[in-house]
Amino acid sequence: MKSKECNVIVVGAGPSGLWIACELSLARLKVCVIERRAEPMSQSRSLTIHGRTLEMFAMRGLHERFLQVGRPMPSWHFAGLPTALDFSSMESRHPYMLFIAQTQTERLLQERAMELGVEFHRGCTASHIAQSEKGVEVHVHDASGTRRIDAAYLVGADGARSQVRQQAGIAFPGMAATQSVMMADAQVDLPDGKATLSIESAAGGLTILPLGQGKQRIIRLDPERRHVDSHEPLSEGELRESLVRIAGHDFSLRNATWLTRFSDETRLADTYRQGRIFLLGDAAHIHAPMGGQGLNVGLQDAMNLGWKLGAVAKSKAPAVLLDTYEAERRPEGQRLLQSTLAQVALTSRYDEAGLALRRTVSEFLRHPSLNRQLAGELSCFDLCYPQPLPGFESSQGALGWRMPDCNVISEDGESSSIYAHLAGGSWLHLELVSQERQPLPDWLSSREVQQVRASIDTCPALNGMKDVLVRPDGYVAAARFISEA
């Protein structure tokens, strides 16, 4: 059997797999991606890139590519409630959600991966996975036969039915599906030339959103059809009948290019790591696609693991750093499941009691503080990693918080964006008042840290700081304050 070697094997070329491949390649590792599909996905699928994910892309200089394709939306829904979540008050250059089809997201990420030299093996399956203390071995099978790829590490980004997870023996406990929801991409004619439509009544819920190029996304929660198995094909005829039940007509439904059902099956991997094998995205957590959160959480899994695995694989950081991936990201998986299950509960009943609950929660969301809290959680703007990394000590108040982007003014008067300094995947030390360098753990060389001595143009989050050390994923690793002795 022919064999080849790389530093890291990534199984799965969805958004999460593509992004970690980019991050690892940015760290100058040789990355091999194994993907079951011979061609890129054609269905639109997820439509949301939340603000924190856009910030993540901005840290690598990619946000403009997404903004040229997507449509910014300053608010988004929680369980389809009438009161929308408002992102406009967030301290960010991207206080909005970007409406963009997953096909476009994957295209842009693959383009980036190709620029960085990622190696792709499409139309292949990982038929056998084994690991030892020194590395992992994967047998890759396609129409031409089987070959072996050896690597130091393996990342499973191969979706809900992950073969990597199963072969690694990682349990996937949770809740089996209890209901399904209809979803389609098709053409419809909305009344009065509207671009969007939202209806809820005793006949269920209906949301119609514009996809562009004359198509709409249709999401129908039909109490009469919610117990249909999510694997049963959805036809135009069934969807048309369901539209008539809630609206009295079918909106001239036609030319459906994608008809499917999604369920509320909810599961979380027992562990995100088994030796040299890691899970991320849908391989680690699945849920009802409520609030457009899943793709974003998967991308943030990839960002978190990417820089850590890159540093350890290049022997620039201790292996214990990899333990922080699960410590930081699995709690976010738990929060994701709690959020989506809460939304499932709010969309499961459309009788008088269920509608009353929806009205009550919608009224609560009119309170700015409650709206802000939920918007911060959904968008991941409020995500924090409060435990110090190995070799670091706790910092007052700032440890683990996301670093918002703002302009810094260098000593020669030049203005630059904080995120622009993170584009190469390095650490960043901002000297704001103190000219002393932040003490670093033994494993982090000063050569891996950009030193920027500057003043802040406008950035409330940095008020009162002497200096701040920013991780490659844009979170604060350490900070010192003017009030400190």
CA 244, 248, 252, 253 torsion-angle sign: negative
Q: Is the pLDDT of residue 197 over 80?
A: yes
Q: How many residues appear in the chain?
A: 485
Three-state SS for 11?
strand
Quote the CA–CA distance of 446 and 261 in Å, as a whole number: 52
Beta-carbon contacts of 243 under 8 Å, excluding residues fewer than 6 positions away, are 206, 218, 220, 249, 250, 251, 253
Q: What is the pTM of this model?
A: 0.96
361, two tokens: 């929660």
Q: What does the pLDDT average to over 203-210? A: 94
pLDDT level of residue 2 (50, 70, 90 thresholds) = low
Rounded to whole angstroms, the Cα distance separating 471 from 469 reads 7
Residue 403's SS3 state is coil
Q: Could you give the C-alpha distances from 111 to 15, 26, 106, 298, in angstroms and in order?
A: 12, 14, 8, 19
Residue range 246-271: mean pLDDT, rounded: 96
Mean pLDDT computed over 15-28: 98
Residues 6+ apart with CB under 8 A from 89: 95, 368, 372
pLDDT classification of 434: cutoffs 50, 70, 90: low
Helix (H, G, I), strand (E, B) or coil at 318: coil
User: Does 483 score more than 90 pLDDT?
Assistant: no
pLDDT tens-digit map of 35-69: 999 888 888 889 999 999 999 999 999 999 999 99
In this structure, are residues 309 and 8 in contact, taking their beta carbons and an 8 Å threshold? yes
pLDDT in tens, 373-403: 999 999 999 999 999 999 998 766 688 999 9
Q: Give the separation between CA 430 and CA 454, rounded to whole angstroms.
A: 7
For the segment 290-313, the average pLDDT, to the nearest whole number, is 97
β-strand pairing of 153-156 with 197-201: unpaired
Q: Distance (Å, rounded) from C-alpha 97 to C-alpha 55? A: 11
Which residues fall within 8 angstroms of residue 188, CB to CB, at 6 or more apart? Answer: 208, 216, 218, 250, 251, 252, 253, 254
pLDDT top residue among 44 and 343: 343
H helix and E strand count, the chain = 10, 29
